[in-house]
Homo-oligomer: A and B are copies of this chain.
Amino acid sequence: MARTVEVTELALRDAHQSLLATRMALEDMVPACEDIDQAGYWSVECWGGATYDACIRFLNEDPWERLRTFRALMPNTRLQMLLRGQNLLGYRHYEDSVVDRFVDKAAENGMDVFRVFDALNDIRNLRRALEAVKRTGKHAEGTICYTISPLHTVDTFVEMAKRLQDLGCHSICIKDMAALLRPQPAFEIVKGIKQTCGEETLVHVHVHSTTGVTLVSLMKAIEAGADLVDTSISSLSLGPGHNPTEALVEMLEGTGFETRLDKSRLLKIKDHFARIRPRYAEFESKFVGVETEIFDSQIPGGMISNMESQLKQQGAGDRVKEVLAEVPKVRQVAGYPPLVTPSSQIVGTQAVFNVLMGPYKVLTGEFADLMLGYYGETIGPRDPEVTRLAAEHNKKPPITDRPADHLTPEWDDLVAKAAALDGCNGSDEDVLTYAMFPQVAPKFFAKRSEGPKNLGKDPVTAAAAAAAANPAVKAIDSRGPVT
């Protein structure tokens, strides 16, 4: 009898984050929800930092209302979110009580599966969030950020999996945000986890398709025993996105593995998003092909485009290659962090500064914090001289304990500050929105009553407008962050 491989659909979160700069409106997802709910997915990923941010920044949507809508429309399928450990959906560490509150509220509003990751793979930054999830009775998925460096080996990833298991995770995710996971390591890591943590340990594999090889990696991961894999419906797939769900189903035919997915439902979901996608043409990533150069630079595509736009703003658009060569050096100095939000932005920006101003002549506050341990521990040692410069720059000493232990209780303060904002409804949900996006939340609260703003445009209208503005219709580079 064939072994069942379970599938997580990414169309509602990571797919449009990777392909359409996270701009898809809830309104354009709603018509697909019944088919998604009935298709036989294990879970549907539908919430995360970038979608939350885009909701309040661009779409005038309450992200909690989006979550409740998904819950109502998909009663038969697990809802899944991506959580940045102690960073929640924001860019700094939060004190533990805020972490607890966020997880409670997400669970209460309908979230089932919490994929919890830390950009540095520092287990201490995952622990509190995982514990909170377990306390709510929901599914706690501990995550390993996959990366390539001289220090990262199959063994180091398997060891991390063991530590996540020891924390009581319900499943272990291998998260390959940059499409660097080749078939052979995919096989070996999954095999290693199964051997070390037990065959019954649920292993979940998340890969992007940027390098063109990762559907093969999914096949090898499945052969090694992976239980759950992430894909996106074909009309929102490939490029910097993910492998197509339908291709996964077909790939397994006759192999002794099978999904539970209903192909006729998949076709409807595909057709829906094929109709919707052209409405977001102006947000399309311009990296739609296959980028194997990433294997050499180890720099995710989204990070390259961020660095390019920073360079252009400085009138140094021609220095991209120097910056690409600088990134691995900065990574070494910083102890080889994986490159994922927020470490990708921090390392990338410092590499730009090093090229423009000379190595470590100017530090960013965030990079200095990274060097000083305020984001957590890295796999390798950090450069002592640059650490010294960082301490000088940020006027504080390096730390070796858990960053969040340096924070004081902040919930009451956040409640008070949020309550003072025009349009804040005083709910814990609103306080959390303010806590995570203090710059954006005030404007969102003030304008929330105007209701959602769909940025999609009818393709004919959009093309006419673009043609009027500029005869050379060009793709706009506006990718979401890399997760």
Tell me the A residues contacting B by CB distance below 8 Å.
Answer: 182-185, 211-213, 215-216, 219, 234-235, 237-238, 243-244, 246-247, 249-251, 253-255, 263, 267, 274, 289-293, 295-296, 459-460, 463-464, 467-468, 471-473
Contact = CB atoms under 8 A, between A and B. Distances in A.
Contact of A246 (B212, B216, B267, B459): B212
Nearest to A274: B289
A270 to B, nearest CB: 9
A290 B467 contact: no
Contacts of A291: 234
A213, A263, A267, A274 — most chain B CB neighbours (10 Å): A213
23 contacts: A182-B251, A183-B219, A184-B254, A185-B254, A211-B250, A212-B215, A212-B237, A212-B243, A212-B244, A212-B247, A215-B216, A234-B290, A235-B289, A237-B289, A238-B289, A244-B290, A244-B292, A250-B292, A263-B296, A463-B471, A463-B473, A464-B471, A473-B473
A388 to B, nearest CB: 38
A91 B248 CA distance: 37
A213 B295 CA distance: 22
B289 A182 contact: no
A243 B212 CA distance: 8
Contacts of A234: 212, 289-292
A285 to B, nearest CB: 14
A182, A212, A463 — most chain B CB neighbours (10 Å): A212
A182, A243, A249, A289 — most chain B CB neighbours (10 Å): A289
A237 B292 CA distance: 13
A309 to B, nearest CB: 20
A292 B183 contact: no
Q: What does DSSP make chain A's interface, helix, strand, loop or mixed?
A: helix
B293 A237 contact: no
Given A184-B254, A184-B255, 6 more contacts: A183-B255, A238-B289, A238-B290, A244-B289, A459-B472, A467-B471
A213 B246 CA distance: 9
A326 to B, nearest CB: 19
A211 B247 contact: yes
A399 B468 CA distance: 63
A237 B244 CA distance: 16
Contacts of A212: 215, 234, 237-238, 243-244, 246-247, 250
A405 to B, nearest CB: 40
A263 B471 CA distance: 37
B464 A247 contact: no
A264 to B, nearest CB: 10
A250 B182 contact: yes
Contacts of A247: 211-213, 290, 292
Nearest to A257: B184
Contacts of A183: 219, 251, 255
A237 B289 CA distance: 8
Contacts of A254: 182, 184-185
B251 A216 contact: yes
A473 B473 CA distance: 9
A215, A250, A255, A460 — most chain B CB neighbours (10 Å): A250
Given A182-B253, A215-B212, A246 B290 contact: yes
A211 B289 CA distance: 16
Contacts of A184: 253-255
A244 B185 CA distance: 20
Contacts of A471: 460, 463-464, 467-468
A235 B288 CA distance: 10
A153 to B, nearest CB: 12
Nearest to A212: B247
Given A216-B216, A250-B211, A463 B472 contact: yes
Contact of A293 (B253, B267, B296): B267
A59 to B, nearest CB: 25
Given A213-B251, A254-B185, A292 B246 contact: yes
